[in-house]
Amino acid sequence: MIYFINFGMPAHKSGIEHAQLKRLKLFEHYKEPCCLIVRDWDQTLHMTAHQSGVKDEQLLSMFDHFQEARYVTPKQVSVWDLDFGLKNLSISEQEEQTRYLVTRANGRLVARVNYNKALAKQVVSVELFDGYGNLYRVDLYDSRGFCSLRQWYTPDNKIGSEEWLTPTGRTVLRTFYKFDLQHSLIKTGWILREVDQKVHVFDTLDQLFEYFLNVVNENGENIFILDRSLLADGALLRLKRPAYTVMHLHNSQAGDAQDPLHSIVNNNYEYALANLDRYSAVVSATERQTKDVIARFHPQTKCYTIPVGVVPDATLDAPHILETERTFGKVIAVARIAPEKQLDDLIKAIALVKKEVPEVTLDLYGYADPSNNYAEKRMLVELISRLGLTEVVRFKGYTADLAPVLDHAQLFGLTSRMEGFNLAIMEALSHGVVGVTYDVNYGPNDIVIDQENGAIVPYGDHQTLATMMIKFFKDQTKLQQLSLGAYSSSKRYSSANVWQAWQTLLTDAKKYFAQGVVR
């Protein structure tokens, strides 16, 4: 079996989750069995996975496995289905807080039952209180309708321990909260009781996950593709049975992507890069990155270039939308509102464009990084106000379906500090949107071909970025030519072409197993 390793499949996805989803669909199309391995517990995992088109048989959660909950028939659980072990209780609803209050005859609070209004008031969690009004336990419900995680509280209102249950209510996994050297509460002492009643104790979640990967690989000869290095970069090198292990680079291997051969190593890949030859293979999304990895680290293990993006045949075959049918002056960007995306540069460029093209607008699609109380978005909002662009630049939030947006936009702007590929600009080009990007590693300066499907300007030069936008808006004939180039160049990322790249790696993996040479 082929496994893709990640922490989860959240509703708000990063480029890595989108890449995995495209890969799952690609492998499914070519009838190559594969599965997404998920490390972290998430009560909505199956709901968000299903919404993304992931079937239960394509999803292997570590917690599901130990909780005997990989395949569970969903059921509706309401407040009326709960048993609080007491008689003569009253239940009242607080609709604005989306919860019910359960009280004794004397008015004392027994429980707060929180529900999901959008799911017919399905129970999400139950907060339980003792006879003195102290919170002592919180039950968290899986979206499929069973109590999955139980949190026990200490007298000072902190989580003291947690336990995970099977759908039938049997506790299989426990962990405890203790103070570390910095006096911060951390989870420690993971205790696993398996079906055969064997008990295992682990100090950390990483150790538990390593044990789980060995359970998955019990019979050996699986292919593991690690999409988030820190989840299992060491664990994959310590598997007890033969496996083909793939380190997938989704970002720059260097801290400064513009100086890949000399700058400090990206700390997310530090362990992996120091142990490259212990993996079976290394995958980069662009040939430029593959060459830089080889030039700097001289790995003996084989390096592959496989795009993380796939443009569906339906998109490639769709009718082309002419510039006359698009919204004149419409620029879009699809990115997390985070410092490394340098959206302030793009906003400054738009301010310059507006002086020459008054109709210009910029729509920003993506969720805001919550770091430092959403500091980056607050900075951008202030900048937009200071530049007088409040009617020009709009935050559109996270959007799952961008196709209608792309079919109306004229330009896609990208000013990131570094990238691993950038699915968004690939998808934009496949809809005929012209790309205007900094010369940034890796991806944008390969996906965009200067003056063929867009423009590449010197890194950090937002004035030249603005100049190119103005040039294109004022020359709609040129813009139409570039749009046609965008459509045409997207064929590089067709299902057939990307699958051929994967076939090379999968064929080599089979040879490794046949020869008994597996790292």
pLDDT band at 182 (very low <50, low <70, confident <90, very high): confident
Task: Name the strand (E) or helix (H) holding 133.
Answer: none
Number of domains in the chain: 3
Q: Any idea what the CATH number is for the domain that residue 190 is in?
A: 2.20.110
**Where is the domain boundary, 279, 305, 331?**
305
pLDDT attached to residue 249: 97
Average pLDDT of span 239-250? 96
Taking only the tens place, the pLDDT of each residue in 122-151 is: 999 999 999 899 999 999 999 999 999 999
**Where is the domain boundary, 305, 336, 352?**
305
Is the same domain home to 390 and 296? no
Q: Decide if 506 is inside a domain.
A: no
pLDDT attached to residue 185: 83
pLDDT attached to residue 186: 85
Is the same domain home to 406 and 391? yes
Residues of the chain above pLDDT 70, percent: 99
Average pLDDT of span 207-232? 96
pLDDT attached to residue 167: 97
Taking only the tens place, the pLDDT of each residue in 387-414 is: 999 999 999 998 878 999 999 999 999 9
- CB 101: neighbour CB atoms within 10 A? 16
Which residues 6+ apart lie within 8 Å of 336 measured at CB? 14, 366, 367, 368, 369
Q: Is the pLDDT of residue 474 over 80?
A: yes
Which residues 6+ apart lie within 8 Å of 195 measured at CB? 68
Average pLDDT of span 305-334? 96
Q: Decide if 424 is inside a domain.
A: yes
Tokens of 398: 């996270």
What is the C-alpha to C-alpha distance for residues 162 and 67, in angstroms, rounded to an integer?
14
Q: Decide if 472 is inside a domain.
A: yes
What is the C-alpha to C-alpha distance for residues 29 and 24, in angstroms, rounded to an integer?
8
Cβ atoms of 245 and 226 within 8 Å: the answer is yes
pLDDT attached to residue 516: 67
Average pLDDT of span 320-336? 96
Range of weakest confidence among 94-108, 195-209, 327-341, 504-518: 504-518
CA distances from 213 to 9, 296, 388, 397, 441 (A): 18, 31, 54, 36, 33
Q: Any idea what the CATH number is for the domain that residue 252 is in?
A: 3.40.50.2000
Residues of the chain above pLDDT 90, percent: 92
Q: Decide if 514 is inside a domain.
A: no
Q: Decide if 477 is inside a domain.
A: yes
Does residue 98 come out as left (phi exceeding 0), alpha (psi in the -120 to 50 range) or beta?
A: left
Is the same domain home to 375 and 332? yes
Is the same domain home to 370 and 421? yes
Is the same domain home to 388 and 441? yes
Average pLDDT of span 483-509? 97
Is the same domain home to 475 and 372? yes
Is the same domain home to 331 and 463? yes
Average pLDDT of span 97-123? 95
Cβ atoms of 399 and 405 within 8 Å: the answer is yes
**Where is the domain boundary, 243, 277, 305?**
305
Q: Is the pLDDT of residue 518 over 60?
A: no
Is the same domain home to 41 and 96? no
Q: Decide if 167 is inside a domain.
A: yes
pLDDT attached to residue 517: 54
Taking only the tens place, the pLDDT of each residue in 272-311 is: 999 999 999 999 999 999 999 999 999 999 999 999 999 9
pLDDT attached to residue 180: 83
What is the C-alpha to C-alpha distance for residues 239 and 216, in angstroms, rounded to an integer?
10
Is the same domain home to 142 and 45? no
CA 94 to centroid of chain Cα atoms:
34
Range of weakest confidence among 83-87, 284-288, 301-305, 470-474: 83-87
What is the C-alpha to C-alpha distance for residues 5 and 234, in angstroms, rounded to an integer?
13
Is the same domain home to 342 and 298? no
Average pLDDT of span 93-112? 95
Which among 218, 219, 236 has a CA at the least distance from the CA of 227? 236
Range of weakest confidence among 55-69, 265-279, 505-519: 505-519
Is the same domain home to 194 and 244? no
Q: Is the pLDDT of residue 329 over 60?
A: yes
Q: Is the pLDDT of residue 236 over 60?
A: yes
- Please state, rounded to an integer, the average pLDDT across all residues of the chain: 95
Q: Decide if 517 is inside a domain.
A: no
Range of weakest confidence among 186-190, 221-225, 351-355, 384-388: 186-190
Average pLDDT of span 56-65? 97
End-to-end CA distance of the chain: give it in Å, rounded: 17
Domain that includes residue 6, residue range: 2-71+206-305
pLDDT band at 165 (very low <50, low <70, confident <90, very high): very high
Q: Is the pLDDT of residue 350 over 60?
A: yes
Q: Is the pLDDT of residue 187 over 90?
A: no
Which among 322, 323, 329 has a CA at the least distance from the CA of 356? 329
pLDDT attached to residue 183: 84
Is the same domain home to 228 and 189? no
Q: Decide if 385 is inside a domain.
A: yes
Instruction: Report the amino acid identity of residue 303.
Output: C
pLDDT attached to residue 12: 87
